[in-house]
Structure 1
Amino acid sequence: MADQDPAEKIKELSSTLASVESVLDLDAKNTEIEQLREQSADPELWNDAENAQRVTRRLANLESVVTKVGNIRQRLDDLSVLYELAATEDDSDALAEADNELESLRKDIGELEVRTLLSGPYDEREALVTINAQAGGIDAADWAQMLQRMYLRWAERHGYPTDIYDTSYAEEAGIKSTTFAVKAAFAYGTLRGEHGTHRLVRISPFDNQSRRQTSFAGVDVVPVIEQSDHIEIDESDLRIDVYRSSGPGGQGVNTTDSAVRITHQPTGIVTSCQNERSQLQNRATAMSMLQAKLLERKRREEQSTIDELRGDSASSWGTQMRNYVLHPYQSVKDARTNVESGNPTAVLDGQIDDFIDAEIRWMRSQENGDAQG
């Protein structure tokens, strides 16, 4: 493709973008935008705050998608003119600028193409991410905290707001567990492939003999619940504990018993929240998190039943899914897609889009295979 004429490259990108525009159905989106704008202009909308937030979120998401596609189409049209000017004036700087814009457009259109694959029932939702330290002692707790930072940095790079609901700090270093929300449209569809066990191999900073240590942490991703979701929870199945919020090393960060932990006894699912001052607010958030986890559990059980009926035992996306090796060599490799990076420092700083895009394509191929089966 390196020797291909720029006009041919632009034609190929234009064709790919046209396919994306068709799948996204921009006419339908524009119609829905007009309807949502009418709803948002109604002063009575805010009588139901939750519905009002749903309407404004949906409107902002649709406007963002339509604007982004329109901007890319305009840039693609402008690029042809830029190449013509560079050729006419024999301007090497203008040609380099056009080549850079071509690569930038290739990347942006590729990202849009991946977005069209996010069509699952909950893919448009915000995401609730839980990370738990597993085998590996102090190193595993430190590893769990490194993963938390990786995802928070990834969200920050994309301008996605996050909200940390609960963090349980380990005694010596790191964290036992953490739960946080990524408050962006399609966050669940984008991150759900991250579900599974993440393995770290490195020289332990906590071993005075500097031995190599393998540590594990589990990542769980569920969609944030909405008003339309219906999950029956029997209050008698719940054990609710209140306790004092704590910071690193067990230090108290709140002088009242406002943190709330809810245990759903039939399933053993535990959720907790300590980021609000009010016990009532923490309880409401913990309850919402429990509903989200029960909803995802139900979805996975239904999928598991379908897989069993098909005789498909390979559809579980849990288990070990990515290896991060810092010693004796530097590498991060996904066990399912085989996408690999030789720069773990960048990956752990949130540069995980290549892994996520490959996961989305891989999951869609698995789902299409299931559907054909």
Structure 2
Amino acid sequence: MATDFSSEIAQLRTVYESISAVVDPEALRARVAELSDQAAAPDLWDDPEAAQAVTSRLSHAQTDLARVEKMAERIDDLEALVQLGQEEQGDDAAAFLEEAEKELRSLRKDLSELEIRTLLSGEYDQREAVVTIRAGAGGVDAADFAEMLLRMYLRWAERHGYPTQVLDTSYAEEAGLKSATFEVKAPYAFGTLSVEGGTHRLVRISPFDNQGRRQTSFAAVEVVPLIEQTDHIDIPENEIKVDVFRSSGPGGQSVNTTDSAVRMTHIPTGIVVSMQNEKSQIQNRAAALRVLQSRLLLLRRQEEQAAQKEMAGDVKASWGDQMRSYVLQPYQMVKDLRTEHESGNPSAVFDGEIDDFIDAGIRWRKQQELEAA
């Protein structure tokens, strides 16, 4: 069936207009101009941390503006390409229309991604993310599952060109990980990955069971926004307990011979953060404090939301603990239990192909918020 380009282009323009209404290109241009003035200040680099924050915000604003403006140009170019194909004859016409088909598919995909970005409007959604994965019930299979999830998220970030830094890895005795913490250093990393928070479940024939029995194991994923200087999360020293210990690992050069690892406990809440992947105790202490502040920031926000919800009444049940199942036996299926989105290719999912799950989760969360409101 021939593509109805007129209808398709009209639909693209409708989606673009709804995105543009949220993004507000004029406001973005004003933001770029304001940050450009700040970046041009002669004393900017007197405070290197503040300067980095300004230049980073400027770069992100410029990227967002260019993405929106480029999308409008591409829709215009597609329309011109279709017009050329309709005016030409024979092979030339077919070539133009074939190219228009390819660009139409690409535009649909890119507009969908841009639309997802407009749904990330939460207070901390624009932040970078700190992700912690912990092995749950299931023994060595759970520890192995935790390591599989760590690789999945790092591969996802790599596919998108997002820098990551593994801050802490606590290895299990037989195989896999007890826990791991890493940063994703990209705009909107928290808003994007926050829908991955919850309990993940794996069903498979255990490679660690000599009788080849099926095993169910669990791992927990926690996602918090990375703090910024403006957050003012002050923690009194008497509320923090700091222990130092020797880093552990699977062996080789990764194992320190000094007490450089740091375990930081926030006494009032019981939150514990461990860091061992930096080379010095000072670096690990700074990293631990940063992650602790990030978790307290999110905890404060959750307490505010709980208070608001209590005043409004219980209008919607919260997410269930188990949010996604990865089944490798007796069939192959990854299914999100909130959105019903599923994939029959677990290997691809574990290799980082999780964008469809994340997009479905973001759309689902927005729908829950609208229904609750």
State TM-score, norm by structure 2: 0.95
> In structure 2, what is the Cα distance between the partners aligned to 1:269 and 1:32?
37
Within the alignment, does 1:41 sit opposite 2:43 as a pair?
A: no
Matching of residues 23-102 of structure 1 within 5 Å: 23-87=22-86, 88-91=88-91, 92-102=94-104
Within the alignment, does 1:248 sit opposite 2:247 as a pair?
A: no
Q: Is the 8 A contact 1:166 1:179 kept in 2?
A: yes
Number of equivalenced pairs: 370
Q: Is the 8 A contact 1:162 1:183 kept in 2?
A: yes
Deviation at 1:39, TM superposition (A): 1.1
Within the alignment, does 1:171 sit opposite 2:173 as a pair?
A: yes
> In structure 2, what is the Cα distance between the partners aligned to 1:285 and 1:125?
17
> In structure 1, what is the Cα distance between the partners aligned to 2:99 and 2:255?
52
Within the alignment, does 1:208 sit opposite 2:210 as a pair?
A: yes
Q: Is the 8 A contact 1:195 1:317 kept in 2?
A: no
Q: Deviations over 1:76-95 (max 9, x none)?
A: 11112222233323333432
Q: Is the 8 A contact 1:307 1:315 kept in 2?
A: no
Deviation at 1:255, TM superposition (A): 2.1
Distance 1:172 1:251, change over 3 A: farther
> In structure 2, what is the Cα distance between the partners aligned to 1:90 and 1:157?
40
Identify the match of residue 310 of structure 1 among 304, 309, 312.
312
Gaps of at least 5 residues in structure 1 are none
Deviation at 1:252, TM superposition (A): 5.6
> In structure 2, what is the Cα distance between the partners aligned to 1:125 and 1:347?
25
Q: Which residue is equivalent to 1:9?
A: 8
Query: Per the alignment, in what secondary structure is the counterpart of residue 228 of structure 1?
Result: helix
> In structure 1, what is the Cα distance between the partners aligned to 2:54 and 2:81?
40
Q: Which residue is equivalent to 1:122?
A: 124
Deviation at 1:313, TM superposition (A): 7.0
Deviation at 1:49, TM superposition (A): 2.2
Q: Is the 8 A contact 1:198 1:323 kept in 2?
A: yes
Deviation at 1:273, TM superposition (A): 1.7
Identify the match of residue 147 of structure 1 among 140, 146, 149.
149
Q: Deviations over 1:28-78 (max 9, x none)?
A: 111111111121122311222222122111111111111112222222111
Q: Which residue is equivalent to 2:327?
A: 325
Q: Percent identity?
A: 60
Distance 1:313 1:353, change over 3 A: same
> In structure 2, what is the Cα distance between the partners aligned to 1:261 and 1:312?
37
Within the alignment, does 1:230 sit opposite 2:237 as a pair?
A: no
State TM-score, norm by structure 1: 0.95
Distance 1:233 1:51, change over 3 A: same
Within the alignment, does 1:287 sit opposite 2:289 as a pair?
A: yes
Q: Which residue is equivalent to 2:300?
A: 298
Distance 1:251 1:49, change over 3 A: closer
Query: Per the alignment, in what secondary structure is the counterpart of residue 207 of structure 1?
Result: coil
Within the alignment, does 1:349 sit opposite 2:351 as a pair?
A: yes
> In structure 2, what is the Cα distance between the partners aligned to 1:249 and 1:209?
29
Q: Is the 8 A contact 2:135 2:178 kept in 1?
A: yes
Deviation at 1:250, TM superposition (A): 9.5
Quick one: which amino acid aligns to residue 90 of structure 1?
G
Q: Is the 8 A contact 2:316 2:372 kept in 1?
A: no
Q: Which residue is equivalent to 1:109?
A: 111
Aligned-residue RMSD, C-alpha: 1.7
> In structure 1, what is the Cα distance between the partners aligned to 2:32 and 2:217?
48
Q: Is the 8 A contact 2:127 2:188 kept in 1?
A: yes
* Greater shift in the superposed pair: 262-271 or 91-100: 91-100
Quick one: which amino acid aligns to residue 41 of structure 2?
D
Q: Is the 8 A contact 2:130 2:181 kept in 1?
A: yes
> In structure 1, what is the Cα distance between the partners aligned to 2:292 and 2:223?
13
Deviation at 1:98, TM superposition (A): 1.5
Query: Per the alignment, in what secondary structure is the counterpart of residue 130 of structure 1?
Result: strand
> In structure 2, what is the Cα distance between the partners aligned to 1:250 and 1:296?
37
Q: Is the 8 A contact 1:169 1:250 kept in 2?
A: no
> In structure 2, what is the Cα distance between the partners aligned to 1:59 and 1:104?
27
